[in-house]
Structure 1
Amino acid sequence: MNFDDLIAFDVHVHAEEPCCTHRDDGYMEFQAGMVKYFRNPAGRDGMLPTVEETAAYFRERKIGCIIFPVDAERETGFRRYSNHEVAEIAARNSDIMVPFASIDPAKGKLGIREARNLMRDHGVRGFKFHPTYQGFYPNDRSAYGLYEVIEEEGGIALFHTGQTGVGSGMHGGMGMRLKYSNPMYLDDVAVDFPDLKIIAAHPSFPWQEEALAVAQHKPNVYIDLSGWSPKYFPPILVKYANSLLKHKLLFGSDWPAITPDRWLADFEHIDIKDEVRPLLLKENARKLLAM
């Protein structure tokens, strides 16, 4: 990947292609809920973009990306998309993609072994965690063995924070509990793993100030700006982006729920300083990934 040729780098891209030949029970209802929440056609009638289609979209726009599946088998019953398959496809598209993986911390030693293998032998650079979707507190000691491996291998841990579109408006919220995704729990992780690079994903409604505080206080914590159109960013987030955290905020879209086209178009119209824009769009990610 040649960062100099890219106009931006997106740190939050989902591999949504299903891992099996048929949809698991409840999967289509889940995707319909996501369509309604994000007002986006992705997922309607099961028409999800493949990883190859995703690569073509980003290559056409000269936008690099981190891509990952999400392992939430235990909480949802939806079989996960194979980490190894996503890594293999990303390797074939390495001019535009950096592979991350996802492992439910509840998989214990099995997950720890898989994480080590993915990082050492399959080019995986980090892991996506979704505390609400996976049903765990980020500072639960049961997850620490997995963090240890990621830290030892020089990887990145990316955590969903704040409210989620998953289960929004569905009966019982599809069983999703928002409490797990308060970014303040990442403060413990940052203290206990000071050499682990941590990304708190999304404007963390309703805990935006907690996320800003943790990122400002802990050198190893960053924030990605995915999951929201920039026109809805709270003023305090824009203020910190222009000042204290201008080197620690990262462009992310949340593809396919939000496309880079939509995100970047709205980003043009918010009050970000000219000298800060390239930091958020690409340079902070280049430094974080050492690319």
Structure 2
Amino acid sequence: MPVIDAWMQHPTPHFANQEMFESLRRWTGMERLDKPLPVEVTVAALEAADVEIGLASAWYGPQGPLIDNDEVAEFVERSGGRLRGVAGADLARPMPAVRELRRAVQELGFVALRVVPWLWERAPTDRLYYPLYAACVDLGVPFCTQVGHTGPLRPSETGRPIPYIDQVALDFPELTIVCGHIGYPWTTEMIAVADKHENVFIDTSAYTVGRYPSELVAYLRGRGRRKVLFGSNYPMITPSRALEHLDGLGLDEETRELFLYGNARRVFAL
């Protein structure tokens, strides 16, 4: 069965060597990079888990890009069709950010926007996001973000599904929102927001199957089968490692297909 990885990145040295990721290196074994990593290494990691498409993200923060959109476009071009681009944006410059998002989608073929709130220390309800939300709706692409506590050594408050994701979904009912990293320890809040809003989804990135909270597993098996997408958070966690013990979830064939592939294909219009 094919797989779509909804949250991953091809790491650059500037990204992988950030001091704020020291806690992730300690937990996951992610290594610093002395030189650029060949795209073929990432493609091989995806192939090992039957990942047909990996959604490779840019990363933009207050100090500038850690992985910029043009770098991602180069990775996509060298991936043999295995990667698709997810744009980043500079929140501090709203109009240039909107123009850059339009360029990424219309010229580079990117399929979504991702902003990591803890990196900016600005919750998703901050006014600087709102021009980008409107642009996402206009362009027909999802907005991807992080929910739950932060693994890096940054404050976690911006990852609360309630009130932040709930309010954004109320303000922009046409906006598709994909919430990565499950939302733990506010998983029940995240499920409630996904239930409430037609266009809000959850991806499982940054968690291996064995660490999924029990309430998320129950949701995936039942009414949330069309709401949950697989993500790995590569290179912190490889797709193969993230999917170990998948059979232990007890998913029927339809739910398994939706989780691994079908939901992401629909949500990202792949």
- Fold shared per TM-score above 0.5: yes
- The answer to whether the aligner puts 1:8 opposite 2:19 as a matched pair is no
SS at match of 1:106: coil
CA contact (8 A) 1:88 1:122 kept: no
> CA 1:86/1:132 → structure 2, altered by over 3 Å: closer, same or farther?
same
Tell me what 1:241 maps to.
220
Counterpart residue identity of residue 16, structure 1:
P
Query: CA offset at residue 46 of structure 1?
Result: 4.5
> After the TM superposition, which segments of 4 or more aligned residues of structure 1 sit over 6 Å from their partners?
none
Matches within 5 A, 1:158-237: 158-167=144-153, 176-184=154-162, 185-237=164-216
- Using the aligned pairs only, state the percent identity: 29
Measured at CA, do residues 119 and 179 of structure 1 come closer, stay the same or move farther in structure 2, by a change above 3 Å? same
Unaligned runs of 5+ in 2: none
Opposite residue 15 of structure 1, the aligned amino acid is: H
Residue 62 in 1 paired to residue 47 in 2? Answer: no
Query: How far 1:289 moved relative to its partner?
Result: 2.3
Task: Specify the alignment match of 2:41 in structure 1.
Answer: 53
Aligned partner of 2:269 in structure 1 is 290
Residue number in structure 2 paired with 1:275: 254
AA aligned to 1:53 is V
Q: Determine if contact 2:143/2:175 at 8 Å carries over to the other structure.
A: yes
Partner of residue 102, structure 2: 116
Question: Does 2:36 align with 1:36?
Answer: no
Q: Tell me what 1:171 maps to.
A: none
Q: Which secondary structure does the structure 1 equivalent of 2:113 belong to?
A: strand
User: Structure 1: any 5+ residue segments left out of the alignment?
Assistant: 1-5, 168-175
Aligned length: 268
The Cα of 1:81 is off from its aligned counterpart by 1.7
Contact 1:19 1:79 in 2 (8 A): no
In the TM superposition, 1:84-103 aligns within 5 A as 84-93=70-79, 95-103=81-89
Distance 2:175 2:65 in 1: 28
Q: State the distance in 2 between where 1:150 and 1:186 align.
A: 15
Q: Which residue of the other structure, out of 106, 126, 129, is the alignment partner of 2:112?
A: 126
Classify 1:127/1:7 alpha carbon distance in 2 versus 1 (closer, same or farther; 3 Å). same
Q: 1:172 maps to what in 2?
A: none
Deviation at 1:225, TM superposition (A): 0.8
What do you get for the CA RMSD once the two structures are aligned? 2.2
User: In the alignment, residue 85 of structure 2 is paired with which amino acid?
Assistant: P
Please give the alpha-carbon distance, in whole angstroms, between the structure 2 residues aligned to 1:51 and 1:244.
38
Amino acid at match of 1:189: V
| Residues 286, 269 of structure 1: alpha-carbon distance in 2 compared, 3 angstrom cutoff | same
What TM-score, normalized by structure 2, do the two folds share? Answer: 0.91
Stretch deviating more after TM superposition (266-275 or 142-151): 266-275
